[in-house]
Each structure stands twice: as structure tokens, then as C-alpha cells.
């Protein structure tokens, strides 16, 4: 986490982030989860690129899946329509809060 690398505590982050921005980050996290599985996949892509650079002529290309620590893990359940609607609504609330904040800053409230 970039905050830890910069020596920021949870309290520092709370002081630097208002509730509107926090809502935006929550909505972003819901839409784009930064899970370990994603990190493993990114690392597997790099490993596959390197392995394919050094493969022999005529050898098959190696897929990133070959470098995943596990590939038979059950897939995550697809979100329900209600969950998707909730995520979109959270994102919209964050956008509206941002616009309200910008209007207030500009004196247009």
C-alpha cells in the first residue's frame, strides 16, 4: 500500500480523506477489487512473457495459467443484478458528492 510506504497511519489517512472521497474509493474498490488472485495473475503474465522469450523454435507458447499457483480454484459467484445496481448507485453517490464539493469550492452551492 502506498500509504504504508509513505509512513502514513490509518489516522493520517482519515484526517486527509473526507467522507465523499472515502465513498468514491469504496465504490472503486467494489468495481475493481485488488485481490491477491489478480496479483498472482499479473505475475504469471510476466513469467509467461519471459518463458516465451526463451522457448525453442517450434515450441508451443506458454500460457500465464501455467504459472498460476492454483488454477482449479472455484470461480467467484457472479454478482446479482441487485449487487450491480448497488455498486453503480454507490459510484453515482460518490460522483454527486464530488460535484457538490466542487460547486461549494467554486462558490456555486
pLDDT of 26 > 90? The answer is no
More confident residue, 13 or 50: 50
| Phi and psi torsions of 69, nearest 5° | -65, -25
Q: What are phi and psi of 103, to 5 degrees?
A: -65, -40
pLDDT value for 103:
87
Number of residues written out for the chain: 109
Q: What is d(CA 18, CA 29) in angstroms, rounded to the nearest whole number?
A: 17
Question: Does residue 1 register a pLDDT over 70?
Answer: no
Give CA 106 to chain center in angstroms: 31
From first CA to last CA, the distance across the chain in angstroms is: 35
| Neighbour-count burial for 17-43, b at 16+ CB within 10 Å, e otherwise | eeebeebbeebeebeeeeeeeeebeee
Average pLDDT over residues 74-81: 76
Distance CA 61, CA 42 (A): 17
Residue 72: the pLDDT is: 63
Amino acid at each position: 500500500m502506498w500509504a504504508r510506504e509513505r509512513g502514513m497511519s490509518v489516522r493520517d489517512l482519515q484526517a486527509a480523506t473526507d467522507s465523499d472521497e472515502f465513498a468514491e474509493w469504496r465504490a472503486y474498490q467494489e468495481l475493481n477489487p485488488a485481490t491477491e488472485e489478480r496479483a498472482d495473475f499479473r505475475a504469471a503474465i510476466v513469467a509467461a512473457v519471459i518463458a516465451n522469450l526463451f522457448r525453442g523454435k517450434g515450441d508451443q507458447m506458454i500460457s500465464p495459467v501455467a504459472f498460476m499457483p492454483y488454477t482449479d480454484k472455484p470461480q467467484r459467484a457472479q454478482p446479482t443484478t441487485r449487487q450491480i445496481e448497488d455498486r453503480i448507485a454507490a459510484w453515482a453517490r460518490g460522483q454527486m458528492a464530488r460535484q457538490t464539493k466542487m460547486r461549494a469550492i467554486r462558490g456555486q452551492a
